[in-house]
């Protein structure tokens, strides 16, 4: 093995290890403890981790072993499994990322613009149907790779696992439909959703800055409850000045006074709800930023992947397909750590 091939094999092995650790970590930390705790975000993250683990275990691992061995030694049967798993996992991962971006866009619009309005993708049945449809579409596009594969020998005993369609026309038709429906459409959806998320975050940031730059409005809102309390208590004082109060009346006024003193002594009670809402909004914004980061990685990787696949259709090149394979592997080993950081799960212990 040459020095360049050894370096490439080591890099591929490190990417494989990082992908295995990150996706297992993401899947374990996203699993709900109870059935009642199942949420859309956790389902999507687990599905994304499973899709990436298929790539790590059935694509990256055999490819890494073949790189170290210098040839494909796993047989023609596993060659079909290898090609089938590659497109299955990549397509499912792309569609899952699209659903995650769409969910967090709806979540931000519902919480920041409409005051916590319900989100359509929080319906678990709808999410289950979408995921089932994405897996079905991924399987349909991956089935041809299971049958139209072959081991081609380049020199001597060196063999590579490659796709071999009956003719060039069928190969081009398949590539066009696959690239448009299973790659271009979800990538375009991810781009649109991520741009809308960024716009929503910028609008929310601008709104926060405008409020902080005009503290007079906030002071008026804070002083408004005190004015309302004093306006209600004035007629009671007038009644007390006009004549003697009865025991019942004095008891009521005493109760009101005690409740007013108690409200002044415990000013933190009415502020507990806004603090919880602000914490929830902050966590949603943090998660949305991680989604934007993942979408950026997806767009960089898969736009490059699309260009390489299109270039390979025009002029066949093993180097382009090798680069496309490395881009797919880098995607699966980067995004789980971005999600773990954004959702504050990048720790060894799960918080209850």
**pLDDT tens by residue, 160-201:** 788 888 888 888 888 888 888 888 899 899 988 888 888 888
Residue 335 · residue 298 · CB < 8 Å:
yes
Residue 110 · residue 197 · CB < 8 Å:
no
Q: How confident is the model at residue 286 (pLDDT cuts 50, 70, 90)?
A: confident
Whole-number pLDDT of residue 226: 41
Alpha helices in the chain (DSSP H): 3-30, 40-55, 61-69, 75-108, 124-147, 168-179, 185-213, 215-242, 247-265, 272-314, 318-342
Whole-number pLDDT of residue 68: 78
Helix 124-147 crosses helix 168-179 at what angle (to 10 degrees)? 160
Please provide the average confidence, as pLDDT, over all residues in the chain: 74
pLDDT at 244 over 80: no
Q: How confident is the model at residue 147 (pLDDT cuts 50, 70, 90)?
A: confident
- For the chain, domain boundaries: 3-211+277-286+294-342
Pick the residue with more confidence: 42 or 268? Answer: 42
Superfamily of domain 3-211+277-286+294-342 in the CATH hierarchy: Rhodopsin 7-helix transmembrane proteins (1.20.1070.10)
The pair of three-digit structure tokens given for residue 229, joined into one six-digit string: 């309390």
Phi, psi (degrees; rounded to nearest 5) at 150:
-160, 160
Alpha-carbon distance 312 to 171, whole Å? 12
Alpha-carbon distance 189 to 184, whole Å? 9
Whole-number pLDDT of residue 225: 44
């Amino acid at each position: 093995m040459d020095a360049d091939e050894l370096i490439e094999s080591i890099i591929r092995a490190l990417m494989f290890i990082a992908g295995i650790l990150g996706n297992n970590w993401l899947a374990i930390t996203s699993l709900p403890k109870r059935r009642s705790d199942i949420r859309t975000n956790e389902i999507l993250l687990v599905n994304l981790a499973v899709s990436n683990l298929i790539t790590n275990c059935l694509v990256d691992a055999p490819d890494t072993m073949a790189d170290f061995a210098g040839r494909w030694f796993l047989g023609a049967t596993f060659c079909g499994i290898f090609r089938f798993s590659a497109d299955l996992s990549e397509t499912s991962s792309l569609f899952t990322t699209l659903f995650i971006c769409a969910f967090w866009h709806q979540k931000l619009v519902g919480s920041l613009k409409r005051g916590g309005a319900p989100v359509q993708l929080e319906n678990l049945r709808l999410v289950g149907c979408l995921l089932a449809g994405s897996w079905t579409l991924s399987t349909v596009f991956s089935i041809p790779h299971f049958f139209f594969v072959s081991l081609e020998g380049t020199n001597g005993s060196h063999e590579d696992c490659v796709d071999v369609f009956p003719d060039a026309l069928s190969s081009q038709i398949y590539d066009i439909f696959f690239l448009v429906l299973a790659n271009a459409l979800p990538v375009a959806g991810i781009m649109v959703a991520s741009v809308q998320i960024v716009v929503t975050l910028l609008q929310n940031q601008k709104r926060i800055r405008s409020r902080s730059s005009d503290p007079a409005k906030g002071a008026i809102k804070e002083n408004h409850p005190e004015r309302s309390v004093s306006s209600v208590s004035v007629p009671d004082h007038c009644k007390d000045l006009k004549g003697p109060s009865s025991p019942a009346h004095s008891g009521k006024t005493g109760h009101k006074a005690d409740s007013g003193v108690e409200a002044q002594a415990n000013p933190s009670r009415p502020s507990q709800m806004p603090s919880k809402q602000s914490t929830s909004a902050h966590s949603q914004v943090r998660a949305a930023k991680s989604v934007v980061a993942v979408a950026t990685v997806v767009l960089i990787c898969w736009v490059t992947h699309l260009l390489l696949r299109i270039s390979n259709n025009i002029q066949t090149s093993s180097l382009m397909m090798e680069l496309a394979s490395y881009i797919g592997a880098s995607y699966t080993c980067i995004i789980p750590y971005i999600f773990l950081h954004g959702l504050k799960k990048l720790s060894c212990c799960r918080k209850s």
